[in-house]
């Protein structure tokens, strides 16, 4: 007897209105419009769309992967609740919808279910009637991957970000993060399988690298050392692509762009500026209410610098230390005066040290008030930018323009403004000297900036691709203990 028949025997009546047309509209009908659970399901579905488009699935498998990702948590709906265990309730509903058997199996056993039922005797007894999960099934593998890479609020996450979120929500030593860590090895194997298959299908032996600059590639204000330049050259010669992506203005780093080459685009101002073949263009949304934000900062005695397409401006009287902070990181000094009215503001940097808790909270609240995002880019810099925009925006656009499979990519960084990249790439890496919010978020923990971490990773990737496609360097895999 198959899973569907067993479920129908256990639950003779459908748990909700059934339909064989498993659409987004149907999934949405089980949740309030503002449901975070629905947002999670939809984002998992978006990741599944990306995965399906880049894997060598046939059309039927691709459709099942996308549908299973969308409906994997439908059992959380109050309208479908029977046992209170959402994988079981969701699978029972899908059985009455006559969903494909492998899709039902993927939902029934998805993610950490095999581990969770061990502490649930009544549910485990029900599950004993079913065939166990098929870990090699592409639908099962894809749902596990997409679920783990999606936050409860519907954001793209790295595995590390997902575990950090669980720790924050339930506590460091609670059961959910512990279960996630036990599930992680299987998800990591999926990640390895997906990256390798995608790279081979694309005919690219190496991934696209998006690398932060300060404290990742170089010490702030320095040039790229010969060891690192040799590694970048070896990497690009072997077929990899390498792009700089930074919080700094691209007008400040032409010498670094020249050093690594202009064969690929580079991005700055946290994804708001892209440089292609030496030409700088503003990309994405802007900080429309910049004048009101500047006024509020000045009233609160918080000094700032507003970035526009071709320069940086401030009405604040910057202190010698604040000016020196710009000099130390090699950033163009702000011009004194109002932000030009004919220019679009693309970010507002505030001089807010991490230890200035009250001021930092004020800046973050101000950003939220005006519907903007807020990220830390250095110990002394807390920055306001367009909502939903970040380094990931430019990164994804660059790969889209190149026709590059975006899961065949690695982001390397060290700070909060790198986190959105980590959530979107195929693999993420932090240097050992990274900020505390970045360290637990990445897939790889590579050596520090001072220890040529980027160069060593590039060399390891080239070495791994000698027999075809690249492999994840497991000696640097984060364990999240």
Looking at the structure, tell me whether residues 19 and 101 fall in a common domain: yes
Looking at the structure, tell me whether residues 20 and 131 fall in a common domain: yes
Question: 172: burial class by Cβ within 10 Å (0-12, 13-18, 19+)?
Answer: exposed
Q: What percent of the chain has pLDDT over 90?
A: 89
Domain C-terminal end among 138, 155, 172: 155
Q: What is the mean pLDDT of residues 356-360?
A: 97
**pLDDT tens across 295-338, in order?**
999 999 999 999 999 999 999 999 999 999 999 999 999 999 99
Q: What percent of the chain has pLDDT over 70?
A: 100
Domain that holds residue 228: 208-284+390-476
In a domain, 273, yes or no: yes
**pLDDT tens across 82-96, in order?**
999 999 999 999 999
pLDDT reported for residue 1: 67
In a domain, 422, yes or no: yes
State the Cα–Cα distance between residues 27 and 149, nearest whole angstrom: 20
Cβ pair 399, 417 in contact under 8 A: no
Alpha helices (H) in 203-301, listed in sequence order: 226-237, 254-260, 290-299
Looking at the structure, tell me whether residues 39 and 143 fall in a common domain: yes
Looking at the structure, tell me whether residues 54 and 88 fall in a common domain: yes
The per-residue pLDDT of the chain, averaged, comes to 95
Looking at the structure, tell me whether residues 278 and 324 fall in a common domain: no
CATH of the domain at 336: 3.30.1240.10
Looking at the structure, tell me whether residues 73 and 213 fall in a common domain: no
**pLDDT tens across 25-60, in order?**
999 999 999 999 999 999 999 999 999 999 989 999
Does the pLDDT of residue 167 top 70, yes or no?
yes
Domain C-terminal end among 360, 385, 410: 385
pLDDT reported for residue 46: 97
Looking at the structure, tell me whether residues 223 and 120 fall in a common domain: no
In a domain, 310, yes or no: yes
pLDDT reported for residue 468: 82
In a domain, 226, yes or no: yes
**pLDDT tens across 172-197, in order?**
778 888 888 888 889 889 999 998 89
Looking at the structure, tell me whether residues 149 and 58 fall in a common domain: yes
Domain C-terminal end among 385, 401, 434: 385
Does the pLDDT of residue 122 top 70, yes or no?
yes
pLDDT reported for residue 408: 96
pLDDT classification of 466: cutoffs 50, 70, 90: confident
In a domain, 198, yes or no: no
Q: Which of 305, 303, 307 is nearest to 286 (CA)?
A: 307
**pLDDT tens across 214-266, in order?**
999 999 999 999 999 999 999 999 999 999 999 999 999 999 999 999 999 99
In a domain, 439, yes or no: yes
Looking at the structure, tell me whether residues 84 and 213 fall in a common domain: no
Looking at the structure, tell me whether residues 361 and 432 fall in a common domain: no
**pLDDT tens across 428-437, in order?**
999 999 999 9
CATH of the domain at 44: 1.10.3210
Task: Provide the sign of the torsion angle of the four alpha carbons 75, 78, 79, 82, taken in this order.
Answer: positive
Collect all residues with Cβ–Cβ distance below 8 Å to 56 and sequence separation of at least 6.
197, 201
Cβ pair 218, 455 in contact under 8 A: no
In a domain, 418, yes or no: yes
Looking at the structure, tell me whether residues 24 and 101 fall in a common domain: yes
CATH of the domain at 408: 3.40.50.1000
State the Cα–Cα distance between residues 91 and 226, nearest whole angstrom: 57
**pLDDT tens across 224-237, in order?**
999 999 999 999 99
Count CB atoms within 10 A of the CB of residue 338: 11
Q: What is the mean pLDDT of residues 94-113?
A: 97
Number of structural domains found in the chain: 3
Looking at the structure, tell me whether residues 365 and 462 fall in a common domain: no
In a domain, 165, yes or no: no
């Amino acid at each position: 007897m198959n899973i569907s028949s067993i479920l129908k025997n256990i639950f003779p009546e459908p748990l909700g209105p059934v339909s064989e047309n498993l659409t987004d509209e149907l999934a949405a009908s089980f949740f309030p419009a503002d449901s975070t659970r629905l947002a999670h399901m939809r984002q998992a579905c978006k990741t599944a769309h990306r995965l399906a488009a880049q894997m060598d699935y046939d059309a039927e498998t691709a459709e099942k992967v996308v549908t299973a990702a969308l409906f994997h948590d439908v059992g959380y709906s109050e309208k479908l609740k029977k046992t209170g265990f959402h994988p079981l309730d969701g699978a029972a509903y899908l059985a009455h919808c006559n969903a494909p058997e492998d899709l039902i199996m993927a939902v029934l056993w998805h993610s950490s279910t095999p581990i969770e039922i061990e502490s649930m005797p009544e549910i485990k007894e029900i599950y004993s009637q079913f065939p166990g999960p098929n870990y090699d099934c592409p639908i099962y593998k894809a749902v596990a991957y997409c679920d783990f890479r999606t936050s409860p609020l519907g954001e793209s996450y790295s595995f590390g970000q997902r575990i950090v979120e669980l720790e924050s929500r339930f506590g460091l030593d609670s059961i959910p993060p512990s279960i996630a860590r036990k599930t992680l090895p299987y998800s990591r194997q999926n990640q390895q399988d997906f990256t390798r298959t995608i790279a081979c299908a694309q005919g690219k032996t190496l991934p696209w690298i998006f690398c932060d600059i300060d404290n990742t590639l170089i010490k702030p204000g320095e040039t790229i050392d010969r060891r690192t330049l040799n590694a970048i050259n070896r990497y690009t010669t072997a077929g990899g692509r390498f792009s700089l992506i930074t919080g700094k203005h691209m007008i400040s780093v032409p010498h670094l762009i020249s050093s690594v080459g202009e064969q690929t685009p580079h991005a700055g101002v946290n994804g708001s500026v892209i440089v292609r073949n030496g030409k700088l263009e503003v990309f994405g949304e802007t900080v429309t209410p910049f004048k009101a934000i500047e006024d509020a900062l000045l009233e609160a005695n918080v000094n700032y610098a507003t970035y526009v397409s071709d320069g940086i401006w401030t009405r604040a009287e910057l202190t010698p230390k604040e000016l020196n902070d710009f000099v130390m990181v090699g950033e163009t000094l702000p011009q004194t005066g109002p932000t030009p009215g004919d220019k679009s503001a693309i970010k507002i940097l505030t001089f807010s040290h991490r230890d200035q808790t009250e001021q930092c909270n004020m800046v973050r609240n101000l950003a939220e008030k005006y519907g903007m995002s807020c990220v830390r880019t250095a110990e002394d810099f807390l920055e306001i930018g367009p909502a939903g925009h970040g380094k990931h925006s430019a990164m994804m656009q660059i790969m889209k323009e190149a026709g590059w499979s975006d899961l065949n990519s690695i982001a390397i960084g060290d700070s909060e403004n790198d986190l959105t990249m980590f959530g979107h790439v195929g693999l993420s890496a932090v240097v050992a000297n990274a900020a505390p919010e970045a360290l637990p978020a990445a897939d790889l923990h590579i050596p520090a900036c001072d220890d040529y971490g980027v160069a060593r990773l590039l060399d390891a990737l080239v070495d791994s691709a000698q027999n075809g496609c690249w492999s994840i360097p497991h000696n640097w895999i984060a364990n999240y203990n």
